[in-house]
């Protein structure tokens, strides 16, 4: 599926940001990749990223767990890549689906050290989420069907920061035939990891026809993947937030980062567009659009709310 190519690139970019941070803060870490009856090609790509950091792994222990079912060629493919990796990397291919992640992570001693988990096609059960949350720090990329709400379960599991995005395989109106794809949720306790995921999300070089949809967007419109996000959909989400009361630019940037699919920097462009159209007002009225500038929604035909 075209969405699998985007997911692979997101995993590669996230791992490329996660591994140096893990090396900096600990002497061991775990990367867990679990697939339920889907293409496990991302595991090959992940091991190649690990290989690119081989010269920095001296004195470090990285455990890579790969859980997959129905892919008979996976052990041979991963073995070919593993043979190029330094001794500090231990790769374990475990038969089974993501439901076995809690047992596999416990056996690997993943708790208490950096842990990055990909669970593709997994039911977000309390046991699976608790296991993924056991890392210090813990980052989780959860992939399911596009209509599955993931944020409530991830919030309940104790992940402080969660973002969701739908990958759609056709630029059709939301809910119409052809809107098939995946829902991704990234959960973490680190602002830096969340920002890295957002950067990876918008830098992804996806196949033609794959678009994003923000589950938090009240109109649910699909948007194109690209480094310059269309500020229009985010503007609508900011207006919905401003309907609850005025917010500073800093608060709106934080809202964009933690509650939408967009980056903090995208909020500045969206606010500027809203100011240009008169949909919002600012206090003070003039000067640089700094973080302490207060933004208020403007009632149609009336003053700022």
Residue 124 has pLDDT above 50, yes or no: yes
Q: How many C-beta neighbours within 10 Å does residue 94 have? A: 18
Closest C-alpha among 253, 249, 219 to residue 236: 219
Rg, Å, the chain Cα set: 21
DSSP SS3 for 67: strand
DSSP SS3 for 282: strand
Please check whether the domain covering 231-297 is classified as CATH 1.10.10.10. Answer: yes
Q: How many C-beta neighbours within 10 Å does residue 287 have? A: 8
Closest C-alpha among 121, 59, 117, 62 to residue 89: 62
pLDDT tens digits, residue range 11-25? 999 999 999 999 998
Q: Domain spans of the chain? A: 2-224, 231-297
Can you give the pTM of this predicted structure?
A: 0.89
Order of strands, sheet of 294-297, starting from the edge strand that comes earlier in the sequence: 247-248, 294-297, 280-283
Residue 175 has pLDDT above 80, yes or no: no
pLDDT tens digits, residue range 194-217? 999 999 999 886 556 688 888 888
Q: How confident is the model at residue 170 (pLDDT cuts 50, 70, 90)?
A: low
pLDDT above 70 as % of the chain: 92
Q: How confident is the model at residue 4 (pLDDT cuts 50, 70, 90)?
A: confident
- Reduced DSSP (H G I as helix, E B as strand, rest coil) percent helix, strand, coil of the chain, to 5: 40, 25, 35
Q: What's the mean per-residue pLDDT of the chain?
A: 89
Peptide bond into 137 cis (omega under 30): yes
254 vs 41 pLDDT, higher one = 254
Give the CATH class of 2-224. Answer: alpha beta
Give the β-pairing of 294-297 and 247-248. antiparallel
Average pLDDT over residues 85-93: 94
């Amino acid at each position: 599926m075209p969405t699998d190519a985007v997911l692979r690139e997101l995993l590669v970019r996230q791992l490329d940001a996660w591994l140096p941070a893990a090396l900096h803060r600990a002497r061991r870490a775990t990367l867990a990749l679990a697939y339920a009856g889907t293409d496990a090609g991302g595991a090959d790509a992940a091991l190649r990223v690990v290989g690119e950091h081989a010269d920095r792994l001296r004195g470090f222990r990285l455990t890579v767990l790969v859980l997959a079912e129905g892919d008979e060629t996976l052990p041979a493919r991963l073995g070919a890549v593993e043979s190029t990796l330094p001794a500090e990397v231990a790769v374990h291919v475990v038969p089974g689906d993501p439901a076995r992640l809690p047992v596999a992570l416990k056996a690997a001693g993943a708790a208490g050290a950096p842990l990055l988990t990909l669970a593709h096609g997994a039911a977000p059960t309390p046991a699976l989420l608790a296991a993924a949350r056991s890392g210090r720090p813990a980052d989780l990329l959860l992939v399911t069907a596009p209509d599955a709400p993931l944020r409530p379960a991830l919030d309940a599991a104790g992940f402080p920061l969660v973002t969701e995005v739908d990958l759609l395989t056709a630029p059709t109106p939301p809910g119409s035939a052809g809107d098939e794809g995946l829902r991704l949720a990234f959960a973490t306790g680190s602002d830096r990891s969340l920002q890295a995921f957002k950067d990876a999300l918008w830098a992804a070089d996806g196949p033609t026809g794959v678009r994003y949809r923000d589950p938090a967007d009240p109109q649910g419109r699909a948007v194109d993947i690209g480094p310059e996000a269309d500020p229009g959909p985010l503007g609508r989400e900011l207006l919905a937030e401003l309907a609850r009361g005025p917010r500073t630019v800093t608060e709106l940037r934080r809202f964009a980062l933690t509650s939408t699919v967009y980056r903090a920097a995208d909020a500045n462009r969206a606010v500027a567009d809203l100011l240009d159209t008169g949909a919002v007002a600012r206090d003070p009225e003039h000067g640089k659009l700094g973080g302490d500038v207060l933004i208020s929604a403007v009632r149609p035909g009336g003053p700022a709310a």
